[in-house]
Amino acid sequence: MPSIRNIAIVAHVDHGKTTLIDAMLAQSGTFRSNQCVAERVMDSNDLEKERGITILAKCTSLQWNDTRINVVDTPGHADFGGEVERILNMVDSAILLIDAAEGPLPQTKFVLMKALRLKLRPIVVINKIDRPDERHQDVLNEIFDLFVSLDASDEQLDFPVLYASGRNGWAVNDIKDKKKENLAPLFDKIIEHVPEAYSEDKINKPFSMLITTREYDSYLGRVLTGKIETGTIAPNALVHVLNQSGNVVENGRVAKLLAFRGIERIPVESAIAGDIVAIVGLEKATVADTISDPGVDTVIAAEPVDPPKLAITISANDSPLAGREGTKVTFRMIYDRLMREAEGNIAISVTMSERKDSLIVAGRGELQLGVLVETMRREGFELSISRPKVLLETDEVTGKTLEPYEEIYVDVDDEYAGTVVESLSCRHAEMTDMRQYGTGRTRITFVGPSRGLVGYNCQFLTETRGTGVLNNTFCDYRSYSGAFESRRNGVLISTESGEGVAYGLFNLEPRGELFIVPGDKVYEGMIIGEHTRPNDLCVNPVKCKQLSNMRASGKDEAVRLRPPRIMTLEQALTYIEDDERVEVTPKTIRLRKAILDPNERKKASRSAVQ
């Protein structure tokens, strides 16, 4: 019987998970010595490469001596916590990776809590130990305190600790060890500490497997990945699918059985309990369903996933420029795409709006929703999107309105601490702790409503001159804290359709900051800039100079415009107000009023006041 270990790597954002896996794959002989391999090979998605973050959990496999180690790389950002929650269901332990300078941060607490709840015994790896500002002893004490605060058992508190540099590809059991050559100590610790995945007792039972991830392949169809809990499976085997209620979803046959070998999935003739595999051939099965032998009617329980807390409304693009750049512009196409997303992504929910002309998409946060929209626009969709709204709940006992609260961690230079405290206080956040962190740095902890963080990240980076780090994690639901001021200035709204003209835009510069450049297409009701005052202002960006003997067109060459503010998708979503929309096409991001006609807007505003 082959020896196998299943393990996940979990950590906070940018603590080195994917880089460590690169080194593990290289040193285990997964790649040829002369093979050209991209950096962060597990981040295969285009958006992951561009943003330098892990979005989707992915499996890989490596061989160390006589043991095959299945490793799962997980996202570090809180918005993709759903990927972490479900992936921990199919491993037997986890490597908890922690930065030697930053120590445990919000997402560290989140992923560790999930791992401890599943009775996993993590291996702690203090990474980036070669940093000049490393403080490994303090970090180790903070890690132990974190385990205690999360009610870890005595067995879980007796966690092994290694010190590593994932970038340089070495790990040691003792910080004083001068022999820092490779990751052999980490591989040996995994084999020693992680339970053997195979079991004679489980192999002799009928086949069953919990679906942990689902993806769609244009050649294979649905690809369902999970860990085989009991029994054996082979291609052409008859199976049925049970949902969490125990009802049969479908009966089918395994068309293809895939196993992870290195960074590839290859067809195999059979697999047994304890192995992580992908099954092809089923049409209705999805995440959290159980695939099993037709004679099995027992469902494998799936770990409940934290509910979404932020929602946007998505509808078909209905601007005057609709259909010029995208290939998928109808509401039916958008509906089908989002329903497919909801099937495979358990952290996202999609419901029809009351008007039946738009969809309410709820997720964990701005980044997750922004990544979904960005993925769709690259697929050729044109969309109209509302401002993100926090999902409120009602207390069943008191009837009070409740809203989600976040635990907010801020690391800033000392000189900016006062500004950040003032900004977050205006957003109803309450400071709970402040302490010195490193040389000239302050770490501040707040607890505040999730609403206060919508759109705050851009302001935070401005206030800290780009040197601050802000992290947050869901805390609980509390009483609604009341309204607070969001955007202070109004917007500049185009009254005409056409193309922006340098002369017209130059005359608008004293009115505010522009979002467009000459030659950009505009239409009535489109937002082209930010007003210097609180009210909205209707302007004409296509106004041309009236030529005469005294006014020569050549003088336009002397016009010099200030660079416009170019917003990313996430910035645009959090900038708009409730009566505004973001128009997203494959090539362009525009801001607009929900109601384009100025007279209709006035009528709607009067009706809202009444």
What the block records as the tokens of 157 is 């508190």
The whole-number pLDDT of residue 176 equals: 83
The whole-number pLDDT of residue 520 equals: 92
Report the sign of the C-alpha dihedral through residues 38, 43, 46, 50, in that order: negative
Selecting from 2.40.30.10, 1.10.1740.10, 3.40.50.1820, 1.10.10.10, what CATH number does the domain 200-292 have? 2.40.30.10
CA pair distance 451, 585, nearest whole angstrom: 27
CA pair distance 282, 302, nearest whole angstrom: 20
Query: Quick check: helix, strand or coil at residue 336?
Result: helix
pLDDT digits (tens, 9 = 90+) for 281-323: 898 888 888 999 998 888 888 776 777 888 999 999 999 999 8
pLDDT digits (tens, 9 = 90+) for 408-429: 888 888 899 999 999 999 889 9
Helices 331-344 and 366-378 pack at an angle, to 10 degrees, of 130
User: pLDDT at residue 483 above 50?
Assistant: yes
Write the CB contacts of 343 (distance below 8 Å, at least 6 apart in sequence).
214, 286, 287
CA pair distance 78, 54, nearest whole angstrom: 11
Query: 3-193 has which fold?
Result: Rossmann fold (3.40.50)
| Domain spans of the chain, in order of start | 3-193, 200-292, 393-479, 491-579+591-609
Residue type, 289: D
Burial category of 168 from C-beta neighbours within 10 Å (exposed 0-12, middle 13-18, buried 19 and up): middle
Helices and strands in the chain, H and E counts: 15, 36
What the block records as the tokens of 392 is 């409120």
Report the sign of the C-alpha dihedral through residues 475, 476, 477, 481, in that order: negative
CA pair distance 225, 87, nearest whole angstrom: 10
| pLDDT top residue among 488 and 126 | 126
Enter the DSSP assignment of 262.
Answer: B
Burial category of 440 from C-beta neighbours within 10 Å (exposed 0-12, middle 13-18, buried 19 and up): exposed
Q: What is the 3-state secondary structure (H, E, C) of 288-313?
A: CCEEECCCCCCCCCCCCCCCCCEEEE
Whole-number mean pLDDT of the chain? 84
CA pair distance 259, 607, nearest whole angstrom: 60
pLDDT digits (tens, 9 = 90+) for 135-185: 889 899 999 998 998 888 999 999 999 998 888 888 888 888 878 888 888
The whole-number pLDDT of residue 338 equals: 92
User: pLDDT at residue 258 above 80?
Assistant: yes
The whole-number pLDDT of residue 557 equals: 56
Cα-based distances in Å from 367 to 11, 18, 282, 316, 573: 18, 19, 32, 21, 10
Strand 256-261 relative to strand 512-514: parallel, antiparallel, unpaired?
A: unpaired
CATH of span 491-579+591-609: 2.40.50.250
- Ranges of beta strands (E only) in 197-348 are 208-210, 213-217, 221-230, 232-233, 238-242, 248-253, 256-261, 264-267, 271-272, 276-280, 290-292, 310-316
Count other C-beta atoms under 10 Å from residue 476's C-beta: 10
Say which range, 33-42, 206-215, 234-243, 292-301, has the weakest mean pLDDT.
33-42
Query: 469: closest CA among 511, 510, 438?
Result: 438
Write the CB contacts of 422 (distance below 8 Å, at least 6 apart in sequence).
none
pLDDT digits (tens, 9 = 90+) for 30-89: 644 444 444 444 444 555 445 555 555 568 888 888 888 888 877 656 656 666 767 788
DSSP string, 436-502: E-SSSEEEEEEEEEGGGGTTHHHHHHHHTTT--EEEEEEEEEEE---------S-EEEE-S-EE--H
CATH of span 393-479: 3.30.70.240
Report the sign of the C-alpha dihedral through residues 468, 375, 55, 405, in that order: positive
Write the CB contacts of 603 (distance below 8 Å, at least 6 apart in sequence).
none
Mean pLDDT (whole number) for 341-356: 83
Report phi then psi at 414, rounded to 5. -55, -35
